[in-house]
């Protein structure tokens, strides 16, 4: 039997009240096809078995330490498409959001009528996040900005805000600069390495720092970036990332995500440090919310929102 995500369901997944969903997001939800259904036991078992075999055989992409090759290629393709299209923002859609795939929803896999269900869900989520959390800042810094997909939308929504796109791959920085030269958006690109932060980058007082699916690649080497943020003292920090600590160890579906995180050495340890700093009064954690939604392998949209405390280091 099929079901459909409602506005109430979106609010629950976002960790907010239904009456806090902006009208623009409600309009997007009402226009979308959110029908989904559980898999038959046979099809569900097939999905689980295929993932287990991929984990056993290590059939996932891996990134060698300090190796930019994957990003140079991926964001280079987006840059070429963006230039070829004379600045079509659709050319910036990241290719890792794949159509016709099972999605994770509330602890299980579901099949969807819309082949682009995850992409369209993310577009609603992003609109809600940007409208409710990203207004009123003089500067917005997206670290690990990749294809510039989010930078472009933020710059469209907040033309008086300087939107900075930072990445360690040169094509990504070039995309952000092209958003300014080709589209007239208020954007600036910067090279930045999470493992060797550039302290020469100025983060003014009324600044928002944002990461979306970027810190996952830092594994357990994330202390340098956290220290950078504590020194720069932005007004607010938002991480939208797959969060290892929040999976249910007793769930088979979550076990697959846990195994994939460990195999690929994805983002871990950051929240333990952040919680220690909160206990010491160095930071204030404003919101943590498990996504309960994601792709075949991971839940990539969990929220961690915090800010440095007054008088912190």
Distance CA 162, CA 156 (A): 11
pLDDT digits (tens, 9 = 90+) for 287-298: 999 999 999 999
In percent, the amount of the chain with pLDDT more than 90 equals 80
pLDDT digits (tens, 9 = 90+) for 69-91: 877 888 889 889 988 898 889 88
Whether residue 93 is predicted with pLDDT greater than 90 in this model: the reply is no
In percent, the amount of the chain with pLDDT more than 70 equals 97
- Burial string for 238-262 (b: 16+ CB within 10 Å, else e) reads bbbbbbbebbeeeeebbbbbebbbe
3-state secondary structure the chain: CCEECCHHHHHHHHCCCHHHCCHHHHHHHHHCCCEEEECCHHHHHHHHHHHHHHHHCCCCCCCCCCCCHHHHHHHHHHHHHHHHCCCCHHHHCCCCCCCCCCEEECCEEEEECCCCHHHHHHHHHHHHHHHHHCCCCCEEEEECCCCCHHHHHHHHHCCCCEEEEEECCHHHHHHHHHHHHHHCCCEEEEECCCCCCCCCCCCCCCEEEEEECCHHHHCCCCHHHHHHHHHHCCCEEEEEECCHHHCCCCCHHHHHHHHHHHHHCCCCCHHHHHHHHHHCCCEEEEEEECCCEECCCCCCCEEEEEEECCCCC
Neighbours of 46 (CB within 10 A): 12
Distance CA 292, CA 246 (A): 10
pLDDT digits (tens, 9 = 90+) for 224-254: 999 999 999 999 999 999 999 999 999 999 9
| Contact (Cβ atoms closer than 8 angstroms) between residue 167 and residue 75 | yes
Tokens of 96: 């890792």
User: For residue 219, is it left (φ>0), alpha (ψ between -120 and 50) or beta?
Assistant: left
pLDDT digits (tens, 9 = 90+) for 181-225: 999 999 999 999 999 999 999 999 999 999 999 998 888 888 999
What pTM does this model have? Answer: 0.95
Whether residue 26 is predicted with pLDDT greater than 90 in this model: the reply is yes
What average pLDDT does the chain have?
Answer: 93
Between 72 and 313, where is the model more confident?
Answer: 72
Beta-sheet pairing, 302-308 with 236-241: antiparallel
pLDDT digits (tens, 9 = 90+) for 140-162: 999 999 999 999 999 999 999 99
Over residues 10-18, mean pLDDT:
98
Between 219 and 33, where is the model more confident?
Answer: 33
Q: Nearest-CA neighbor of 100 among 120, 117, 77?
A: 117
């Amino acid at each position: 039997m099929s079901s459909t995500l409602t506005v109430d369901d979106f609010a629950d997944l976002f960790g907010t009240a239904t009456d806090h969903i902006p009208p623009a997001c409600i309009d997007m939800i009402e226009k979308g096809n959110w029908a989904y259904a559980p898999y038959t036991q046979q099809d569900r078992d097939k999905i689980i078995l295929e993932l287990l075999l991929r984990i056993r055989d290590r059939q996932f992409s891996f990134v060698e330490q300090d190796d930019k090759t994957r990003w140079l290629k991926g964001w280079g393709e987006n840059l070429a498409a963006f230039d070829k299209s004379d600045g079509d923002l659709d050319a910036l859609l990241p290719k890792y959001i794949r159509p016709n795939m099972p999605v994770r929803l509330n602890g299980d896999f579901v099949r969807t009528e819309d082949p682009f269900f995850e992409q369209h869900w993310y577009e609603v989520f992003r609109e809600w996040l940007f409208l409710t959390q990203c207004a009123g800042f003089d500067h917005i810094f997206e670290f690990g900005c990749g294809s510039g997909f989010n930078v472009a939308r933020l710059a469209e929504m907040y033309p008086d805000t300087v939107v900075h796109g930072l990445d360690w791959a040169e094509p990504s920085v070039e995309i952000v600069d092209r958003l300014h030269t080709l589209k007239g958006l208020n954007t600036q690109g910067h090279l930045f390495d999470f493992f060797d932060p550039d302290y020469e980058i100025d983060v003014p007082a009324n600044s928002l720092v944002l990461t979306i699916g970027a810190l996952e690649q830092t594994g357990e080497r994330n202390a340098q970036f956290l220290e950078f943020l504590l020194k720069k003292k932005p007004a607010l920090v938002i991480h939208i990332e797959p969060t290892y600590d929040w999976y249910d160890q007793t769930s088979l579906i979550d076990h697959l995500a846990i195994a994939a995180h460990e195999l690929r050495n994805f983002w871990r340890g950051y929240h333990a440090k952040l919680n220690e700093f909160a206990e010491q009064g160095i930071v204030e954690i404003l919101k943590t919310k498990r996504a309960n939604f994601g792709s075949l392998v991971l839940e990539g949209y969990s929220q961690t929102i915090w800010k440095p405390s007054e008088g912190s280091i």
